Amino acid sequence: MSDLTLEVSETTDLTPTVRRFTLQHPHGLALPPHEPGAHIVITTPAGHKRSYSLVDPGGDQPRHYAVCVRRDNNSRGGSTSMHNDVAVGTTLRTSLPANRFPLHPSPKYLFIAGGIGITPIRSMVRQLRAEAKTDTRLLYLTQSAEETPFREEFTGPHDTVHHSDDHGLLDLWPYLAEPDDDTRVYCCGPAPLMQAVHTLTAHWRASRIHVEQFTAERKISAPFTAVWAPDGLRVEVPAHLSLLEALRRNGVPVESSCEAGVCGTCRLAVLEGEAEHHDSVLTDEERPSTIVACVSRAASSEIVVGPLVRSRKDHP
Ligand code: FES
């Protein structure tokens, strides 16, 4: 997936913990196109593969990509490497843009962003407002004004920027109580926010609701049993744990990198049963016989998995 080598042309601290990185072609060439909601996978200088939303709308021949990275000292190192090891002039390997959170046409939109979840939503809102064709409402939920990237952009009459340190959690029910087939709801943010939006929109048509998919679905999926083929070990995978984590807790070592379904490092062979795929990396050809353990689950009550025999298509 790492198909581009780009150079960091600018870094900007948007908040005490969020830094914006602008990436360009080393010779100033136009970059592959992307749409609002798209992401790229960046290989950090420390070797982690991380997926970041592109914060600008894009277009046919973008001259740059921009991503925002929140420093998380409890993370597995990806954000730390981006903050500590990347400066203007650093070259980074990235994937081509991909989009698992596309913007569908609609007369009206309700965007709900939590914290750094503003990044894909900013690109959507900017594009729609530039076209001035649609009704866009934004609920932007953060902890404090200080930790609110792009807050100066969202001061209009259709923007609600809410800080939980000042006002507690925002009650979303008044915004979601009345289902509206003319409105699409897009939500991106921490898992509890997406779970709340799922719950509060249970009476909406499902096609109207779009959440950042892999995290939300991990949160609400059913438990299942994984059988580790090499030794027949049976591993119960509860709803709140990934297959990857459940296997590891039972002593099965499985390599990983992004843990977001975008790099392919944690692929396993499916020997029996059916996978419920939530990744952005497998081809249609691979899906029947492969599972991405960090995000995907079993569609059946039991699935038999094992190490991938790395003789077919094999990337990374
Ligand atoms: S660790 Fe990257 S796809 Fe699972």
- Binding site membership of 257 for ligand 1 (Cβ less than 6 Å): yes
Among 292, 284, 295, 296, which residue's Cα sits nearest to residue 308? 292
Q: Are 123 and 58 a contacting pair, CB within 8 Å?
A: yes
- Binding site membership of 78 for ligand 1 (Cβ less than 6 Å): no
More confident residue, 300 or 169: 169
More confident residue, 216 or 197: 197
- Binding site membership of 256 for ligand 1 (Cβ less than 6 Å): yes
Q: What fold does the segment set 108-218 form as a domain?
A: Rossmann fold (3.40.50)
Select the highest-mean-pLDDT range: 73-87, 179-193, 299-313.
179-193
Among 137, 154, 133, which residue's Cα sits nearest to residue 145? 154
Q: 261 alpha carbon to ligand 1 midpoint, in Å?
A: 5
Beta strands in the chain (DSSP E): 2-13, 18-24, 39-43, 49-53, 65-70, 91-95, 108-114, 135-142, 159-163, 183-188, 209-211, 224-228, 233-237, 267-272, 275-276, 290-292, 297-298, 302-307
In the block, tokens 């990337």 appear at 315
Among 254, 262, 224, 256, which residue's Cα sits nearest to residue 241? 224
What's residue 76's pLDDT?
64
Among 273, 80, 300, which residue's Cα sits nearest to residue 290? 273
Q: Which atom of ligand 1 is nearest to the CA of 255?
A: 1
Q: Does residue 170 surpass a pLDDT of 50?
A: yes
pLDDT tens-digit series, residues 1-49: 448 999 999 999 999 999 999 999 999 999 999 999 998 989 899 888 8
How far is C-alpha 128 from the chain's CA centre? 21
Q: 99, exposed or middle or buried, with CB in 10 Å at 0-12, 13-18, 19+?
A: middle
What's residue 74's pLDDT?
65
Question: Would you list the domain boundaries of the chain?
Answer: 2-95, 108-218, 221-307
User: How many H helices and E strands in the chain?
Assistant: 7, 18
- Binding site membership of 242 for ligand 1 (Cβ less than 6 Å): no
Q: Any residues with CB less than 8 A from the CB of 199 and at least 6 apart, and which?
A: none
pLDDT category at 75 given cuts 50, 70, 90 is low
Q: Which atom of ligand 1 is nearest to the CA of 244?
A: 4
The amino acid occupying position 142 is T
Pairing of strands 159-163, 135-142: parallel
**Hey, CA dihedral for 9, 98, 70, 210, is it positive or negative?**
positive
pLDDT category at 150 given cuts 50, 70, 90 is very high
Cα separation, 141 vs 230, whole angstroms:
46
Q: 211 alpha carbon to ligand 1 midpoint, in Å?
A: 20
Instruction: Domain 221-307: give its CATH architecture.
Output: Roll (3.10)
pLDDT category at 310 given cuts 50, 70, 90 is low
Q: Does residue 272 surpass a pLDDT of 60?
A: yes
User: What is the homologous superfamily of the domain 2-95 according to CATH?
Assistant: Translation factors (2.40.30.10)
Q: Does residue 285 surpass a pLDDT of 50?
A: yes
Q: 78 alpha carbon to ligand 1 midpoint, in Å?
A: 13
- Binding site membership of 141 for ligand 1 (Cβ less than 6 Å): no
In the chain, the largest separation of any two C-alpha atoms, in whole Å, equals 61
Among 223, 270, 274, 230, which residue's Cα sits nearest to residue 252? 230
Residue with CA closest to ligand 1 atom 3: 261
Q: How many CA atoms lie within 13 A of 63 on its CB side?
A: 4
